[in-house]
């Protein structure tokens, strides 16, 4: 499934909710279903800088695709990283780097996050793209 298709699914899913209380509840549910990062990756090296809460992110290459796992000590943040993993996991590094993440604005997520959480969201996206960049550099 393409990144664009996954983003469109998320936009549609979020449109079913009438208010942000329901959307936050959905984010929390997404976080609960997040495939957890292996404990060996819950280290300083995998910690995302710029996040208010602790977020660990790991990328592993499987075939031509990157597969992400993550965890966080905050339930909303865990839901946010689960959203991003749904979009970027099982995608090629090229597709991750070229991805437009406009779905974040379309579902209104950035408007409903505190400035520090919004910065954390940007940091998560940057880290995922950095993993993709590193994989491309290994290839070349």
- Residues 91 and 105: their CA atoms lie apart, in Å, by 21
Average pLDDT over residues 29-49: 92
Residue 55 pairs with which residues in a beta bridge? 72
pLDDT for the residue 30: 94
Q: For residue 126, what are the contacts with CB-CB under 8 A and spacing of at least 6? A: none
- In the chain, the number of structural domains is 1
Considering 3, 10, 27, 51, which one is annotated as catalytic?
51
HSE (side-chain half, CA atoms, 13 Å) at 78: 17
Q: Say yes or no to pLDDT of 60 above 80.
A: yes
Q: Say yes or no to pLDDT of 117 above 90.
A: no
Range of the domain at 33: 3-138
Q: Say yes or no to pLDDT of 69 above 80.
A: yes
Average pLDDT over residues 57-72: 96
For the domain that residue 60 is a member of, what is the CATH number? 3.90.1010.10
pLDDT for the residue 50: 80
Tell me the CA distances in angstroms from 107 to 35, 52, 58, one per residue in order: 23, 22, 26
What stretch of H or E contains 62? strand 55-62
Higher pLDDT, 117 or 140: 117
- Residues 136 and 132: their CA atoms lie apart, in Å, by 6
Q: Residue 31 in contact with residue 79, Cβ under 8 Å?
A: yes
**107 catalytic residue (yes or no):** no
**Three-state SS for 98?**
helix
pLDDT for the residue 107: 94
The residue to which tokens 């549609």 are assigned: 12
pTM listed for this prediction: 0.94
């Amino acid at each position: 499934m393409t990144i664009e298709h996954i983003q469109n699914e998320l936009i549609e899913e979020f449109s079913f909710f009438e208010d942000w209380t329901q959307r936050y509840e959905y984010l929390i549910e997404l976080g609960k279903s997040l495939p957890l990062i292996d404990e060996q990756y819950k280290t300083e090296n995998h910690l995302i800088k710029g996040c208010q809460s602790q977020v660990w992110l790991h990328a592993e290459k499987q075939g031509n695709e990157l597969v992400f796992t993550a965890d966080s000590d905050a339930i909303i943040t865990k839901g946010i990283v689960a959203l991003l993993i749904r979009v970027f996991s099982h995608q090629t590094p090229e597709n991750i780097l070229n991805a437009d993440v406009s779905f974040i604005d379309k579902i209104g997520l950035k408007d409903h996050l505190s400035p520090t959480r919004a910065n954390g969201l940007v940091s998560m996206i940057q880290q995922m793209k950095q993993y993709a960049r590193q994989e491309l550099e290994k290839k070349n």
